[in-house]
Amino acid sequence: MSNELVKKEEQTNSISNMFTDIRAFEVAVRMANALSKSTIVPKEYQNNPSNVLIAIEVAGRLKTSPLMIMQNLFVINGRPSWSSNFLSAMVNGSGKFKTNIQHEMVNESKPDMKCRAYVKDNNGNTLYGPWITMDMAKKEGWIDKSGSKWKTMPEVMIRYRAASFFSRLHCSDLTMGFYTKEEVIEGVDYEIVEEQNIKNEIDQNSNKQEIDIDIKLDTTQSEILEDVIEEPIQENVEILPRREF
């Protein structure tokens, strides 16, 4: 490995550990002060070194440019959130999978449209995300939100949502637990949706196959079982008080 690559890796590791390394923290603070004075960064970061400092730390963890993070990490109601396009780009550029994110569409442009994202891993296996359906979007209230794009461009939104759910399921190290900007606005709860998907799968597949249980008892076991069944249940049984010793 060349000296330049070693130096670059050391700088990246230093920034990502800036909250445990006082020297790295001081360098990051100076960077944050300088970047916060820029007029080409989003308004959430202009004259706000604290927000820029967080963006620098995230950039160090993901090994990317702080400017790239600031352009695609939005702060909504105090919660950081990713751009949907950037989230897919991170997964596609991570090298974790053999293919980029693909989308499986069923009944496209119809009221019962549904979509799920999938990739091929490096071993040739297919990894799927959960199904996102228009019925789910309606029940979760995504469609009825003010300014929602689900009404005007549902085919695009359902792909974005499928990709973001796939990313949190299979690439949690890249998403870092952040939702997308649209999900934060719409109040998406991933755990509830995933729980509903599991329940739907159970409902669809349960009681599909009859199980033939054939229990063979010998003569003695049969007699005992008949005695137990025929023995009447005793009622009005007197309960004796507990004795103290």
Give the domain range for residue 159.
88-202
pLDDT at 120: 96
In-domain check, residue 81: no
pLDDT band at 52 (very low <50, low <70, confident <90, very high): very high
Q: How much is the mean pLDDT over the chain?
A: 80
pLDDT at 163: 95
Show which of 50, 76, 102 is a domain's final residue.
76
Position with higher pLDDT, 140 vs 226: 140
Quick one: tokens of 161?
A: 């949502």
Mean pLDDT of the 91-97 span: 93
| Residues 184 and 129 both lie in one domain | yes
If residue 228 lies in a helix (H) or strand (E), which one and from where to where?
Answer: helix 219-230
Each residue of 126-171: pLDDT tens digit?
999 999 999 999 999 999 888 889 999 999 999 999 999 999 999 9
Supply the DSSP string of 13-71, one letter for each residue.
HHHHTTTT-HHHHHHHHHHHHHHHT-SSS-TTTTT-HHHHHHHHHHHHHHTS-HHHHHH
| Residues 46 and 110 both lie in one domain | no
Alpha-carbon distance 38 to 45, whole Å? 9
In-domain check, residue 234: no
Quick one: tokens of 81?
A: 């959130």
Each residue of 19-41: pLDDT tens digit?
788 888 999 999 999 999 999 99
The residue assigned the tokens 């005793």 is: 234
DSSP 96: S
The residue assigned the tokens 């019962």 is: 112
Q: What is the dihedral of CA 32, 36, 39, 42, to 10 degrees?
A: 90
Quick one: tokens of 29?
A: 């603070």
| Residues 119 and 58 both lie in one domain | no
pLDDT at 226: 56
Alpha-carbon distance 109 to 150, whole Å? 12
Domain total of the chain: 2
In-domain check, residue 208: no
Range with the poorest average pLDDT among 2-11, 63-72, 131-140: 2-11
3-state helix, strand, coil in the chain (%, to 5): 50, 10, 40
Show which of 76, 110, 126 is a domain's final residue.
76
pTM: 0.65
Neighbouring residues of 66: CB distance < 8 A, sequence distance ≥ 6: 31, 35, 52, 55, 56, 59
Does residue 181 carry a pLDDT above 70?
yes
Kindly state the percentage of the chain with pLDDT values over 90.
Answer: 51
Quick one: tokens of 188?
A: 């998406």
In-domain check, residue 213: no
Provide the residue type at 149 as one letter: K
In-domain check, residue 224: no
Q: Output phi, psi for 106, to 5 deg.
A: -125, 130
Does residue 213 carry a pLDDT above 50?
no
Name the nearest CA neighbour of 37 among 50, 54, 55, 49.
49
Neighbouring residues of 162: CB distance < 8 A, sequence distance ≥ 6: 103, 115, 116, 117, 129, 130, 131, 132
Does residue 67 carry a pLDDT above 90?
yes
pLDDT at 150: 93
Question: What residues does 116 pair with on adjacent strands?
Answer: 104
Mean pLDDT of the 209-236 span: 51
In-domain check, residue 95: yes
pLDDT at 215: 46
